[in-house]
């Protein structure tokens, strides 16, 4: 196996929601060596968190600026960085990493606004460095199979997509109880201009675009704030028009009582349709106009799966893979892409990149504009 990439961490300290998931994903296939980090904006907490995950004390830093400066002086300095911070701490470290010659993996959404997104996209194009977003659900093998099946034309001409992402955790104003995740996600200074739609709606839109191969070019949105006193949206209903003629709807909510993480998508063509649900992520259901439905089970021993899908399956059927493995598929694909580029070889990156991140921000901005102007059809920026 090729030598592991040296990875630095930004964010993901003691009480982080997602930091441990990213670390497990990075380590799963042995593609990375986690060797440095700034795990909190609080230097003492950063040191404490670094010690807990086994980082050497002299490579746990108090700021990302300090880390990049110190690691640049080392022969064994970091080659890539994983940024898992609140939205307002995406742009700064990502920009400095690219300027320092460091490849970037970053949580979604890309940044705070479309202006920052444009700058990061231009910087990636200028430097030629790798830049990945962890739109996690694209990493599930069943989603990879769905994308390949649509591209093959088996569903025929695409007509309709319905993507739903209901959660219930923000049904009460828990940000007033110092709940960390709610506190920053509902704060315009740290989350940006949207909570619900930017947070999980961006996942829903990316899933629809990724599987269909079409891009949203217009939206008609109604973003709602149901919980009194909350500054940002906690629910969204968005009609979608795609550049290939398909139409659809995204139903996104964080106040749907009792729901956990119930992401699901249905995509319909003139020959058949498909259904995928996060609750049963190892199955892909196909429906046909002229024969009974099929259920595709995901497993490394399933010859009917595409080569692209089997490349990202680790276990035989009956041994389900899940959330961490989906994350790991993104990390592993990115490591192989970066390593190939550094060797002067071409290796495609197979999941979301900076262009997808820009698109996510553009759709969020268009939805906000549409909703604020009385729910009117609004063009999605492409530049």
Tens of pLDDT, residues 248-266: 999 999 999 999 999 999 9
Q: Where does 162-234 have alpha helices with state H?
A: 180-185, 188-191, 196, 202-212
Same-domain status, 131 and 273: no
The 3-state secondary structure of the chain, one letter per residue: CCCCEEEEEEECCCCCCCHHHHHHHHHHCCCEEEEEEECCCCHHHHHHHHHHCCCCHHHECCCHHHHHHHHHCCCCCCCEEEEECCHHHCHHHHHHHHHCCCEEEECCCCCCCHHHHHHHHHHHHHHCCCEEECCHHHHCHHHHHHHHHHHCCCCCCEEEEEEEEECCCCCCCHHHHCCHHHHHHCCHHHHCCCCHHHHHHHHHHHHHHHHHCCCEEEEEEEEECCCCCCCCCCEEEEEEEECCCCEEEEEEECCCCCCCCCCEEEEEECCEEEEEEHHHCCEEEEEECCCCCEEEECCCCCCCCCHHHHCCCCCCCCCCCCHHHHHHHHHHHHHHHHHHHHCCCCCCCCCCEHHHHHHHHHHHHHHHHHHHCCCCCEECCCC
State both tokens at 160.
């309709």
Report how many domains make up the chain: 2
> Given this model, what pLDDT does residue 16 score?
83
Task: Give the pLDDT band of residue 275 (cuts 50, 70, 90).
Answer: very high
Identify the CATH number of the domain in which residue 272 sits: 3.30.360.10
Whole-number average pLDDT of the chain: 96
> Given this model, what pLDDT does residue 286 score?
98
Percent of residues, the chain, with pLDDT higher than 90:
95
> Given this model, what pLDDT does residue 348 score?
84
Same-domain status, 148 and 172: yes
Name the pTM for this structure: 0.96
Tens of pLDDT, residues 198-246: 999 999 999 999 999 999 999 999 999 999 999 999 999 999 999 999 9
Q: Read off the DSSP letter of residue 212.
A: H
Same-domain status, 62 and 94: yes
Quick check: helix, strand or coil at residue 158? Answer: strand
Is the pLDDT assigned to residue 72 strictly greater than 60? yes
Domain annotation covers residue 380: no
Sign of the alpha-carbon torsion through 144, 147, 149, 151? negative
Tens of pLDDT, residues 40-57: 999 999 999 999 999 999
| C-alpha to C-alpha distance for 310 and 296, rounded to whole angstroms | 13
For the residues 368-380, what does the mean pLDDT come to? 98
Same-domain status, 40 and 120: yes
> Given this model, what pLDDT does residue 74 score?
97
Same-domain status, 70 and 213: no
> Given this model, what pLDDT does residue 47 score?
93
Tens of pLDDT, residues 318-364: 898 999 999 999 999 999 999 999 999 988 899 999 999 999 999 99
> Given this model, what pLDDT does residue 205 score?
98
Question: Residue 346: is it exposed, middle or buried by C-beta count within 10 angstroms (0-12/13-18/19+)?
Answer: exposed
For the residues 163-186, what does the mean pLDDT come to? 96
CA-closest candidate to residue 315, choices 300, 330, 296, 297: 300
Are residues 142 and 298 in contact, defined by beta-carbon separation less than 8 angstroms? yes
Same-domain status, 86 and 187: no
| C-alpha to C-alpha distance for 214 and 211, rounded to whole angstroms | 8
Same-domain status, 62 and 173: no
Domain annotation covers residue 105: yes
> Given this model, what pLDDT does residue 17 score?
81
Same-domain status, 300 and 175: yes
Same-domain status, 90 and 184: no
Are residues 62 and 35 in contact, defined by beta-carbon separation less than 8 angstroms? no
Are residues 111 and 94 in contact, defined by beta-carbon separation less than 8 angstroms? yes
Same-domain status, 97 and 236: no
Is the pLDDT assigned to residue 111 strictly greater than 90? yes
- Expressed as residue numbers, the domain containing 151 is 139-313+359-372
Domain annotation covers residue 231: yes
> Given this model, what pLDDT does residue 6 score?
98
Residue, of 16 and 278, whose pLDDT is higher: 278
> Given this model, what pLDDT does residue 160 score?
98
Identify the CATH number of the domain in which residue 343 sits: 3.40.50.720
Domain annotation covers residue 379: no
Same-domain status, 247 and 182: yes
> Given this model, what pLDDT does residue 383 score?
86
Q: What are phi and psi of 119, to 5 degrees?
A: -65, -45
Same-domain status, 43 and 90: yes
């Amino acid at each position: 196996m090729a030598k592991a990439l040296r990875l630095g961490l930004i964010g993901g300290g003691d009480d982080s929601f997602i930091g441990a998931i990213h670390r497990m994903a990075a380590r799963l296939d042995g593609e990375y060596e986690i060797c440095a980090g700034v795990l909190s904006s609080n230097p003492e907490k950063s040191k404490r968190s670094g010690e807990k995950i086994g980082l050497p004390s002299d490579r746990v830093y108090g700021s990302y600026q300090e880390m990049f400066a110190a690691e640049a002086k080392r022969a064994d300095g970091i080659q890539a960085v994983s940024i898992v911070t609140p939205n307002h701490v995406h742009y700064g470290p990502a920009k400095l990493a690219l300027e320092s010659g460091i490849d970037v993996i970053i949580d979604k959404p890309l940044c705070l606004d479309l202006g920052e997104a444009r700058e990061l996209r231009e910087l990636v194009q200028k430097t030629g460095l790798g830049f990945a977003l962890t739109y996690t659900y694209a990493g599930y093998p069943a989603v990879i199979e769905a994308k390949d099946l649509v591209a093959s034309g088996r569903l025929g001409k695409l007509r309709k997509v319905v993507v739903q992402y209901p959660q219930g955790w923000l049904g009460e104003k828990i940000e007033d109880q110092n709940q960390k995740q709610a506190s920053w996600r509902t704060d315009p200074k740290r989350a940006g201009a949207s909570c619900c739609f930017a947070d999980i709606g961006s996942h829903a839109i990316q899933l629809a675009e990724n599987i269909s191969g079409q891009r949203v070019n217009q939206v008609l949105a109604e973003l709602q704030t149901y919980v009194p006193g909350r500054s940002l949206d906690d629910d969204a209903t968005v009609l979608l028009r795609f550049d290939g003629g398909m139409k659809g709807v995204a139903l996104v909510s964080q106040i749907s009582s009792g729901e956990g993480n119930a992401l699901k998508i249905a995509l319909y063509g003139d020959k058949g349709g498909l259904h995928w649900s996060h609750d049963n992520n190892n199955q892909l259901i196909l429906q046909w106009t002229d024969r009974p439905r099929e259920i595709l089970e995901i497993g490394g021993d399933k010859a009917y799966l595409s080569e692209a899908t089997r490349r990202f399956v680790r276990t035989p059927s009956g041994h389900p893979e899940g959330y961490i493995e989906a994350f790991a598929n993104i990390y592993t694909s990115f490591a192989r892409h970066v390593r190939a580029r550094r060797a002067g070889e071409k290796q495609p990156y197979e999941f979301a990149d900076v262009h997808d991140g820009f698109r996510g921000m553009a759709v969020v901005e268009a939805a906000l504009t549409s909703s604020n102007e009385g729910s009117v059809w609004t063009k999605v920026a492409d530049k």
